[in-house]
Amino acid sequence: MSSFACRILSALLLSCGLAAHAQAVVPLAPLPAPAIVSEADCFSMGSYDDWMAGLREKNGFLKSLLIRWRFPEGEFTRYRQSLDCRAITYRSDQYLVHGWLVRPRHRPAGGKQPVIVYNRGGNRGYGALTFAHLFTHVFPLAESGYLVAASQYRGVTTAQDATTSPDQFGGDDIADVTNLLRIVSGLPGADPDSLFMIGQSRGAIMTFRALRETPLPIRAVAIYSGVYDLHDLLAMRPAFEQLFEALIPDYRKQRTVELDLRSVTRWPGQLPPHTGVLMIHGDEDERAPLVSPRKLAAAFERSGHPHRLVVHPGESHFLDGVRPEVQAETLRWFERFRQRPSRQSAASTR
């Protein structure tokens, strides 16, 4: 199937509302972290046929055929048997934040699992992670042996404006990522010395700010179609000015300060020097400018920061035509840094 066809199909599928948030508590051992206040089984929709029947009723016959093709029964059954998947609610500042926690059911005896915190894109409810996103973006990572946690961020279900917005597009809501890192790194079986992050689109802002501010040692990060510089983004998409005015407190008074705060290209030297940064972008990305990762890669090259920039020809913002390659590149990158001492000269990891 062509890259263009993949983009169209994926857009249809992920816009179909494939959320499968559970309502009942998971009949498994409760998570001990006191900051996790509730948990539920991601697979509580019942059997695969039950899931498909619900989607057919909601989306119609034609879309349900596409959905069945994209999410085959064999993969659903394999994931259900091999993965412990939970919808969680955890405390972050004064908020209760929704998220996901996925890990292999069978863990190595006496061994610990490396951790990935997956930072989604979008804002407020737009781009919130559904069960379908877990299926395509998270389950393959967990199946490879990682404990994967993802935050929906505060404000995902709340109507907002500039005076009431919990979602600040990379402001105080960074705490939702740093708190999740702290929670999952302390779970039984998690390896606190093997922490990684992935940032998708706006998730790049969340990843780099968390990387700069958390005391926890993050070995490596991978960024997909990232937003690295809000000044560049506004030059490409001026309509974002209205979004920033709606989400960022005091935006009009402190515009430059707030834009710079969310733009890693303005402070690359403040990142931990030993953390490897993988950047993956499509050269036909219509939503996040390619000039920004190139700018950051140039800064890393000058400073000797371990990094790699991969540009996929013909790919859009969603990288749908190369998703298996992107996930494989990510796992190779993480494994490379997982095998190294936690503190090592940047030059030796390039």
- Asked, for residue 24, whether it belongs to a domain, the answer is yes
Q: What value does the mean pLDDT take over residues 254-261?
A: 98
- Asked, for residue 113, whether it belongs to a domain, the answer is yes
- Asked, for residue 246, whether it belongs to a domain, the answer is yes
Contacts of 254 (CB under 8 A, 6+ apart): none
pLDDT digits (tens, 9 = 90+) for 95-124: 999 999 999 998 777 789 999 999 999 999
pLDDT digits (tens, 9 = 90+) for 225-249: 999 999 999 999 999 999 999 999 9
Q: Give the domain CATH number at 267.
A: 3.40.50.1820
pLDDT at position 256 is: 98
CA distances (Å), 243 to each of 119, 161, 167, 215, 303, in order? 19, 9, 11, 31, 34
Rounded Cα distance between 271 and 293, Å, is 15
Rounded Cα distance between 318 and 200, Å, is 9
Q: Are 7 and 286 in contact (CB under 8 A)?
A: no
Q: What value does the mean pLDDT take over residues 9-22?
A: 41
pLDDT digits (tens, 9 = 90+) for 124-147: 999 999 998 999 999 999 999 999
Q: How many domains are there within the chain?
A: 1
Sequence-distant contacts of 71-78: CB under 8 A, at least 24 apart: 71/13, 71/18, 71/132, 71/135, 73/48, 75/135, 76/48, 76/51, 76/135, 77/48
pLDDT digits (tens, 9 = 90+) for 159-209: 665 556 699 999 999 999 999 999 999 999 999 999 999 999 999 999 999
CA 48, 145, 339 angle in degrees (round to 5)? 160
- Asked, for residue 12, whether it belongs to a domain, the answer is no
By residue range, what is the domain housing residue 302?
20-47+82-341
- Asked, for residue 76, whether it belongs to a domain, the answer is no
- Asked, for residue 347, whether it belongs to a domain, the answer is no
- Asked, for residue 29, whether it belongs to a domain, the answer is yes
Indicate the average pLDDT of the chain. 88
Is the pLDDT reported for residue 302 higher than 80? yes
Q: Please state, for a pLDDT cut of 90, what percent of the chain lies above it.
A: 75
Q: Are 183 and 300 in contact (CB under 8 A)?
A: no
- Asked, for residue 255, whether it belongs to a domain, the answer is yes
